[in-house]
Amino acid sequence: MNVSFLKAMVAAACASAVLAACGGGGGGAELAANTAAAPGTAAIASPQPVVTGGATSSNQSSTTPTTPTTPTTPTTPTTPTTPTTPTTPTTPTTPTTPPVATTCGTASSNPASGLVDYGKALRPYTALAKPAKGVSVADPDFPGNTRIVRVTDVASDFKAGVAVPVYPTIQSWNCDESLLFLYITSPQSGGQSGHALFDGKTYKFIKFIDINPADVEQVYWDPVNPALLRYVDNRESGGTYLRELVAYNVNTGQKTVLKSFTGNAALTPTSGKIGGGGDPFAASADGDLFGFGVYQEKNGPGGAALQGQFSYRLSTNKISTYGTHEGNVAQALPSGRGLMLGDDTKVSVLSEAGAVQRQIAFGGTEHGDLLQNAAGNDVFVAVQFDGPAGSGNLMAANLTTGVVSTIIGESTGDGYPRTGGLLSGRSRAPGWVALAITGCPAGSTGNCNGYQPTVSGAAQTYLDQEIVLANIDTGKVYRVAHHRSTGNYSNAKTSNYWAQPNLVISPSGTRILVASDWGDANPNSPVINPSAAVDTYVIELPAYRGQ
């Protein structure tokens, strides 16, 4: 499935010169695709996803996709690590009291309300200076669709280099969107790092929170209580890793152990040094079912060898253990009706106990996310590079019916997928997903066949450098903004892992967080700087402004 920060630590697969190698892709075909032929100019009215698959047998044969280019490990930035001891929480000079709510918000009935449909026409990519922190600006290239607010000034506020959403598959906002958290890292001397809490509406920094999850992205908001976070605590105490599922109250700092996995022989790796915590990218939508991996020497010199897997259901306190399944870790389905496991040629639907129930010919190791459609079916959406069901920046495998559809891809006239696509299905609005694409920093009319992208004439884009909101049920695609991040440019000699356009759609579906180094302040002269500061921005859609 997706590549976690843990895997980046072990293999540096994500911190590579080819962003798409984070989950496949990259190489000559993708680079050539960066200089896209001019797409059609007519908007498509009410397009439908193109169905390209749908077999549901448990032993489905499929074509092995093209082997991705082996990534090159950059000299900078240094590979991110999760600190053994969390940063001491810091209270701002004028502390803001986190809000307390008794109920959680509801999803927007239509996150696309008020959006302009720009179809597939090339859009101008014009200069836009980096906004000051807290200032709202309109995206000049998609009038009416977007207000952009810069959430952080990581260099000034934290004396650090990076402030990002932890991963597209992890919700940054709590359930009523009153709070959000980001990850601060790459501190300078005297700088700060760790998970930082912000007001979810004003975007003001509140404090650092005292948590130490198994991996920096494995932090989950409680689906009902907006003050609670959940994570697996992998702290070491007296030579033993605690391996406890913890609920953490961000208001009071109180930690409550929901389940301790320490001492369970079935979950102890052969070295006896570390286990549980694993690689779930999300729990079920109700926060009840988790998929975990058991690792040997996870934070030690032996790397992170996967020893086994287990699911855990909180409501019944039930643990189900099973094998490694080709070295990948199964993820809980949003419905809670089992788990999903992906490899290069297929995705498998597993029971809670790890038994294979269905297999679908669809690449399961590219960037993707899980969500539910309008019918309540579990769906895996992902980028596909020469996958068994085709190629596209946004394709969907319905894990209930086995049907594979293309929303943005070759079969829908969008060309070969641009590199560096990340997707987030974290909204509670059924069927809606957000996508950000690195592509060519010089735009779709630019030349990205060398280290420094070039453009002849005014830069224009279709998909390259864009953020889109899409519906997997109707096939509607709305282009809403340029993210302007260049540091993870796929053909650069060096690359900044943190500058990939990590994005997260809000629970209501009306806002999108995205990380950017703003190297495309002037798209006619893109700046490729792997050491540039990376900040977080929020894309406010018209549906949010109308609330």
Mean pLDDT lowest among 144-153, 185-194, 260-269, 499-508: 260-269
Amino acid 328: pLDDT: 78
| Span 299-312, average pLDDT | 68
**Adjacent-strand bridge partners of 368:** 382
Structure tokens belonging to residue 330: 């199964």
Give the pLDDT confidence score for residue 547 in this predicted structure. Answer: 53
**Do the Cβ atoms of 21 and 13 come closer than 8 Å?**
yes
Among 504, 507, 512, 501, CA closest to 541: 512
Instruction: Give the span between the Cα atoms of 361 and 348, in whole angstroms.
Output: 9
Give residue 545's pLDDT: 75
**What is the 3-state secondary structure of 341-397?**
EECCCCEEEECCCCCEEEEECCCCCCCEEEEECCCCCEEEEEEEEEECCEEEEEEEE
Query: Higher pLDDT residue, 16 or 207?
Result: 207
What tens digit of pLDDT does each residue of 378-408 get?
Answer: 999 999 999 999 999 999 999 999 999 999 9
Query: How far is the CA of 192 from the CAs of 163, 184, 239, 430, in angstroms?
Result: 11, 7, 27, 37
Edge to edge, what strands does the sheet with 160-164 contain?
A: 160-164, 179-187, 194-199, 205-208
Contact of 310 with 198, CB cutoff 8 Å: no
pLDDT tens, position by position, 105-150 = 778 889 999 999 999 999 999 999 999 999 999 999 999 999 999 9
Task: Tell me how far CA of residue 530 lies from CA of 76, 129, 341, 442, 491, in angstroms.
Answer: 7, 19, 33, 17, 12
Q: How confident is the model at residue 276 (pLDDT cuts 50, 70, 90)?
A: very low
Q: What is the pLDDT of residue 297?
A: 56
Burial class (CB in 10 A: 0-12, 13-18, 19+), 547: exposed
Q: Which pLDDT score, from 0 to 100, does residue 41 have? A: 30
The H or E element spanning position 258 is: strand 255-260
Q: What is the mean pLDDT of residues 231-246?
A: 79
For residues 195 and 192, what is the distance between their CA atoms, to the nearest angstrom?
10
Of 513, 469, 501, which is closest to residue 200 (Cα–Cα)?
513
- What residues are paired with 132 via a beta bridge? none
Most confident of the following: 71-85, 252-266, 304-318, 493-507? 493-507
In degrees, to the nearest 5, what angle opens at C-alpha 195 toward C-alphas 192 and 196?
75
Residue 458's identity, in one-letter code, is: A
pLDDT band at residue 279, thresholds of 50, 70 and 90? low
Q: What gap in Å lies between CA 200 and CA 369, rounded to an integer? A: 23
Work out the percent of the chain whose per-residue pLDDT is above 90: 63
Q: What is the pLDDT of residue 37?
A: 35
Percentage of the chain surpassing pLDDT 70? 75
pTM of the complete model beyond 0.85 = no
Element (H or E) spanning 31, and its range? Answer: helix 28-33
Q: Answer yes or no: are the C-beta atoms of 508 and 544 closer than 8 Å.
A: yes
Residue whose C-alpha is closest to residue 464's, from 508, 535, 520: 520
Report the alpha-carbon angle 186-452-20, nearest 5: 60
The 8-class DSSP code of residue 303 comes to -
C-alpha 166/C-alpha 181 separation (Å) is 9
Q: Name the average pLDDT for the chain.
A: 81
Backbone angles phi, psi at 184, to 5 degrees: -105, 130
pLDDT at 236: 72
On the question of pLDDT at 61 being above 50, the answer is no
295 band by pLDDT with thresholds 50, 70 and 90: confident
159-168, 198-207, 225-234 — which is least confidently predicted? 225-234
Residue 12 has pLDDT above 70, yes or no: no
The pLDDT of residue 456 is: 87
User: What's the pLDDT score for residue 11?
Assistant: 35
Least confident of 220-229, 327-336, 430-439, 441-450: 327-336
406 alpha carbon, distance to own chain's centre: 20
Grade residue 51 by pLDDT with cuts at 50, 70 and 90: low
How many whole angstroms separate alpha carbon 225 and alpha carbon 287?
A: 11
The 10s digit of each residue's pLDDT in 19-38 is: 333 433 333 333 333 333 33
**Cβ atoms of residues 445 and 487 within 8 Å:** no
Q: Which residues, 6+ apart, have CB-to-CB distance to 272 below 8 Å?
A: none
Q: Which residue has the higher pLDDT, 358 or 302?
A: 358
**489 vs 420: CA distance, rounded Å:** 8
In sign, the C-alpha dihedral spanning 433, 434, 438, 439 is positive
Contact by Cβ (8 Å): 502, 514: yes
Write the pLDDT tens digit of every residue in 471-505: 999 999 999 999 999 998 987 878 889 999 999 99
The CA–CA distances, whole Å, from 504 to 53, 397, 458 equal 28, 20, 30
Handedness of CA 103, 107, 109, 112 (dihedral sign): positive
Q: Would you give the DSSP letter of residue 46?
A: S
What band does 16 get if pLDDT is binned at 50, 70 and 90? very low
d(Cα 443, Cα 49) in Å, to the nearest integer?
26
Whether the predicted pLDDT of 80 surpasses 60: no
Under DSSP, the state recorded for 467 is: E
**Cα separations (Å) of 35 from 42, 249, 342?**
20, 49, 31
- What is the reported pLDDT for 462? 98
Residue 172 in this model has a pLDDT that exceeds 90: yes
Residues 407, 389: Cα–Cα separation, whole Å: 13
Give the range among 178-187, 413-422, 487-496 with minimum mean pLDDT.
487-496
Query: What residues contact 110, with CB distance under 8 A and at least 6 apart?
Result: 429, 543
Least confident of 100-109, 115-124, 364-373, 514-523: 100-109
Report how far residue 234's alpha carbon sits from residue 84's, in angstroms, rounded to the nearest whole number. 8
